[in-house]
Structure 1
């Protein structure tokens, strides 16, 4: 089909310079776009737009504008392109050769009287940031990832650092195993022993091997005042502890693995390539000295509502009664919604719930695709999108200034088949996920004005040489009964890896003390939002370190070679643990099921499947998760109709 071509320019009617991105779509000629920096009152262009003239023309237009100064500062989109819209129709004619569109704070004016209202997505910001992305991975300490990276200026361990386990000295070494043979303890009481060197209330002996191993008694350490830190108990805790399922102590010959650190350039080539061209934050700490769930809650709400350890069977049922986990002062998503700032969630999941990036996805489980953020009150599973759409979505108008990305957690028995970099999985699923996220953003039109924060929820039991500082407690005084250890949240957790990836961030090292509440603080400072708690009120954010103009940055990303695959583990009849990730994820599954039943009662009743009255084994849990995710797919189909 022959095409006519018109040169489309655009005039800036804002009171300040603007970055203008114009999108043209046509069923006949596909999508086109152009981006310009346009001075106030000036015209820039042109986009050579291909079109078919006449009655059956199908040209649609969307414009996004970032204004960084003046009374009109903010991020804008025309109403026809907002919230996934297709843009505004405006037909070009055969005589159109040079056309000028106009865009200002109120109107997007096209030719022949066509126009559309403009919507401001964000208020004024002190830096030229249009989009913030956050990717949180799992269970690695800063030294474990970066001690042997060779990046100049980092505060890291050396081979002179050591821990004792009994009478045996274990020094920091180069070359960590790609996957751990057992899951290092990282529950609250484990971390207490790791960072203070004082044994907590561990049971004396692990349970005897059995077809259905029983969990050891839950630890009961109480710390109204946190003892002094020495970071001297990591090796001892790993050698003697068994708090993580399947409750196995490591082979004595493998105890030193807890002190081993990656040869970053060789073993983590994607992380190394990104870190050497980004801002590496070498004093980013977990928000509390504890495990995954409370630390992940901090990134969403600068608090964990008093939760200081992993979810306990029956102990978190109140989340379901509340229709989700609540914060006394709301989450960062509540705060964004109050100011009409859109946000979006992605997670690593194919249609069946398996990882898109793991080198062993067949070893995963549908339970591992359940996003932890789906536990939050006001956040629906239907808000989550598969990362297979992420790169394509970013090539289009993307009216979501804040985006949170979750990995796939794999199988909760072995953690294989995920992309979270959990210690019992290999690191390459996470490497591939990280590469895909960075590549999608830097190939998009938003790269020059985007900030990607990459961090890890907690240290996973691995050694780190930097002592955790004191912290300001959230001060939200929740009375939800989730505090097991009388912890007052006045101490940060172990240091974790973190990077600020952006043309607006200089390459190098940032020694500022951050924690996960710094993500909330960054968003609040960027868009003028009120703090959620005392923790984010007093937290530091990366905003002051950002540049006023982007640098020229393109990160060449390598393709890591995965290790040899391993056989699947028969876990069908293994009993579920009483606490931990699987317990928390099952609570999210129940929340999802209740949400879908309320929203689509007829369809969900028809799709209902029988399940055991009590979920007792991993097979029960995985089958139930698979059934519920099938209902999620059905619900999305109903919404799309």
Structure 2
């Protein structure tokens, strides 16, 4: 009993040390926020192999297996490992449509949403291998197992160094159990406005809801969406794309307001401008970065892990060595899990961004459950080293990408954009009183993939 008491006191002391002393104190420390949203990796496959901190809820100390056929209780078990198929270039891009994710989580494309809400049906997280086999019409279990196998620190030394030196979240979820653009809409507006697939309305000004970009402009808070997602000299494409211009429009271009207000012309810039602005100390209050997608530096298959690592290294070192670093928060997150496996069931019965629904293959989704866990690191000289953050502790919610909007609302005294952003847990309590002068100015060099 005495030992338990001492441990409790230690836990309380540790929590107190991380607590921000007052609202005004943490707000005064952060004047610039940089958000980089990479592509399509689950927590387990990307950070689940980390062993530097025993608190990490990954696969290094957790055996995770899927049946080869989720409908057959006697089918062969396929277990995650880091030896066979943690490839530099994923051979198969997993299905991450809403119906595919339903199979991955529940074993069927059409689970009962009422049973999920009532607690009678829980996500087993056992359908990843089955869905991979189905998507690629293969019975090769070594090939299919790539969907649940994982990387280690030697595979991704840059991301691992970020996690070691700052704050890694191991219970942060994407907002939609589906693909890229609906999730990116939640990152930037707190709702996908009923969209559950990457339809054409995302291409250029098709979404009517208020975004963080509009909200900041209305408050005279500076922002730029830096885009590495197109080779256009302007950073965005006005459809139809001119000859020789390729890529995807950055996330600010989802919104009708961005196009009609003229912000597309003034506040969207190519990524090379980010490097110039960071070096000059002229980054805006809010920098939002779109990576290239999906063959080079985004981590989205078939993007090589090596080039993705080089890209996040470039962004970090540009931010860290900027004259603005002492007042900057850098958030590295992922839009969604990309169909890759994870053993932690996502939360259910959460507030949606609005009351709109989406139907795919007969299944209607109302956005009241989160998507799969994703790896997230927060970086700032005002954050602790080697801290693993678990479940959210405020607002009654969990961590998801909507937490970024909830945090910005507190930082800059904005209204919450949606019920989801108001509910999502924020992370201001992680900032400390002490400035860290030992944050690394450079991260490991990229060598040949192991």
User: Shorter-chain TM-score category?
Assistant: 0.7 to 0.9
For residue 237 of structure 1, what is the aligned residue in structure 2? 131
For residue 325 of structure 1, what is the aligned residue in structure 2? 207
Q: Distance in 1 between matches of 2:203 and 2:158?
A: 37
Say if 1:291 and 1:309, in contact at 8 Å, map to a contact too: yes
- Confirm whether residue 530 of structure 1 aligns to residue 415 of structure 2: yes
Aligned positions of 1:180-195 closer than 5 A: 180-195=90-105
Structure with higher Rg: it is 1
Say if 1:125 and 1:528, in contact at 8 Å, map to a contact too: no
SS at match of 2:173: coil
* Structure-2 change in CA distance of 1:471 and 1:331 (3 Å): farther
For residue 368 of structure 1, what is the aligned residue in structure 2? 247
For residue 450 of structure 1, the aligned residue among 324, 328, 343 is: 328
Higher relative contact order (CA 8 A, sep 6+): 2
For residue 290 of structure 1, what is the aligned residue in structure 2? 178
Q: Distance in 1 between matches of 2:139 and 2:300?
A: 16
SS at match of 1:370: coil
**How many pairs does the alignment contain?**
394
Q: Distance in 2 between matches of 1:553 and 1:452?
A: 16
For residue 143 of structure 1, what is the aligned residue in structure 2? 44
- Confirm whether residue 552 of structure 1 aligns to residue 437 of structure 2: yes
For residue 408 of structure 1, what is the aligned residue in structure 2? 292
* Structure-2 change in CA distance of 1:127 and 1:155 (3 Å): farther
Q: Distance in 2 between matches of 1:269 and 1:186?
A: 26
Say if 2:158 and 2:313, in contact at 8 Å, map to a contact too: yes
SS at match of 2:154: helix
Say if 1:139 and 1:421, in contact at 8 Å, map to a contact too: yes
Alpha-carbon deviation of 1:199? 2.7
Q: Distance in 2 between matches of 1:193 and 1:510?
A: 29
For residue 447 of structure 2, what is the aligned residue in structure 1? 561
Aligned positions of 1:119-158 closer than 5 A: 126-152=27-53, 153-157=55-59, 158=61
Q: Distance in 2 between matches of 1:296 and 1:349?
A: 14
Say if 2:80 and 2:150, in contact at 8 Å, map to a contact too: yes
* Structure-2 change in CA distance of 1:443 and 1:270 (3 Å): same
SS at match of 2:217: helix
* Structure-2 change in CA distance of 1:458 and 1:334 (3 Å): same
- Structure 2 gaps, min length 5: 1-20, 70-74, 236-243, 393-397
Q: Distance in 1 between matches of 2:28 and 2:149?
A: 39
Say if 2:186 and 2:401, in contact at 8 Å, map to a contact too: yes
Alpha-carbon deviation of 1:337? 1.7
More helix by share: 2
Aligned positions of 1:290-309 closer than 5 A: 290-309=178-197
Say if 2:188 and 2:251, in contact at 8 Å, map to a contact too: no
Q: Distance in 2 between matches of 1:194 and 1:260?
A: 15
For residue 509 of structure 1, what is the aligned residue in structure 2? 388
- Confirm whether residue 440 of structure 1 aligns to residue 318 of structure 2: yes
* Structure-2 change in CA distance of 1:452 and 1:467 (3 Å): same
Alpha-carbon deviation of 1:161? 1.5
Say if 2:331 and 2:376, in contact at 8 Å, map to a contact too: yes
- Structure 1 gaps, min length 5: 1-67, 74-123, 202-220, 243-247, 356-364, 411-415, 565-641
Q: Distance in 2 between matches of 1:290 and 1:349?
A: 20
SS at match of 2:87: coil
| Cα offsets for 1:304-353 (capped at 9, x unmatched) | 11112332xxxx45986xx43122xx111222122111111112268568
- Confirm whether residue 431 of structure 1 aligns to residue 313 of structure 2: no
| Cα offsets for 1:538-567 (capped at 9, x unmatched) | 111111211234212332312213569xxx
Q: Distance in 1 between matches of 2:380 and 2:58?
A: 24
* Structure-2 change in CA distance of 1:408 and 1:222 (3 Å): farther
For residue 390 of structure 1, what is the aligned residue in structure 2? 274
Alpha-carbon deviation of 1:147? 1.5
Alpha-carbon deviation of 1:482? 5.3
RMSD: 2.9
Alpha-carbon deviation of 1:387? 2.0
Q: Distance in 1 between matches of 2:389 and 2:283?
A: 30
Say if 2:37 and 2:333, in contact at 8 Å, map to a contact too: yes
For residue 161 of structure 1, what is the aligned residue in structure 2? 64
Q: Distance in 2 between matches of 1:340 and 1:404?
A: 17
Alpha-carbon deviation of 1:170? 0.8
| Cα offsets for 1:70-106 (capped at 9, x unmatched) | 9xx8xxxxxxxxxxxxxxxxxxxxxxxxxxxxxxxxx
| Cα offsets for 1:159-190 (capped at 9, x unmatched) | 62111113221111014111121211111011
Say if 2:35 and 2:287, in contact at 8 Å, map to a contact too: yes
* Structure-2 change in CA distance of 1:344 and 1:240 (3 Å): same
Say if 1:159 and 1:171, in contact at 8 Å, map to a contact too: no
* Structure-2 change in CA distance of 1:128 and 1:230 (3 Å): same
SS at match of 1:385: strand
What TM-score does the superposition give when structure 1 sets the normalisation length? Answer: 0.57
